[in-house]
Amino acid sequence: MKRFTAALCALSIAMFFPSALYPQQATERPEFRVEIQPAGNRGPNCTVTNLSGKPVWALVLEISSSSQPARKAKKVWDMLLESHPPIEPGASIARPVYEFAFSPLPDRIKVIAAVWTDGETFGAPASVNLILNNRALRGAQYEDAAAILQQGLSQNWTRDQYEQAFRDKPDTGAVYTVRTALSATLQTARTPQDFTHTMQFLLTNFQQLSQQLRKVKPI
């Protein structure tokens, strides 16, 4: 149900800030403060604070360790795809360092690309496109799931037919959302009309979200 909620939240965020989907290169380097905080129960945390003057949708972090400086990795934090509101000016976001899956434990982390809610970006095109291409991919996944839902509604499928149609699909966020909803309707859809309403609700949301994410174009 978590991914189901996340998908719907992402839709609301995308529709509320549609200009975030149109990249415009920033003319000045923004400011972000990155801190690696001491280890707790789950290990150290990486905290990024937005010191720019406007909300930011997504960041690309460059990760490395002082013990192996030549070895680097990149990590995308995209609030739009994580059902998280934009990072407001002065606000921070924190994640456990272990999520980076980087060994040895990284002690050097910096922001190398970003996308703001007004569509402005900064960073090398290849780094910014890590964000934009991922959004375009997610848009295609929602579009594919919507096409199956549309077929099911047109042909008045049963729950078993929907389950069969999605059974062998890759476990994307859209597919997981449908599977979760199908399971939930065993308890919540007391009539065929209730079930159809749920499938129509998913279809409408997927169509709208895919349209928003499809507007993302690599710079």
Q: Contact 106/69 with Cβ under 8 angstroms?
A: no
Distance from CA of residue 94 to its chain's centroid? 16
Total domains in the chain come to 2
Last residue of a domain, one of 96, 122, 148: 122
Residue 104 is predicted with a pLDDT of 86
For residues 95 and 34, membership in a common domain is answered with yes
pTM here? 0.69
Phi-psi region of 212 (alpha: psi -120 to 50; beta: other; left: phi over 0): alpha
- Based on the domain organization, do 71 and 94 belong to the same domain? yes
When mean pLDDT is compared across 9-18, 36-45, 146-155, 200-209, the lowest value belongs to 9-18
- For residues 33 and 50, state if they share a domain: yes
> Does residue 150 share a domain with residue 100?
no
Residue-range definition of the domain harbouring residue 97: 25-122
Query: Cβ(41)–Cβ(102) under 8 Å?
Result: no
Report the amino acid identity of residue 197. Answer: H
The candidate with the shortest Cα–Cα distance to 99, out of 134, 73, 128, 131, is: 73
47-93 residue pLDDT tens = 999 999 999 999 999 999 999 888 999 999 999 888 789 999 999 99
Evaluate whether residue 219 is within a structural domain. Answer: no
Q: Please give the average per-residue pLDDT across 27-40, as a whole number.
A: 75
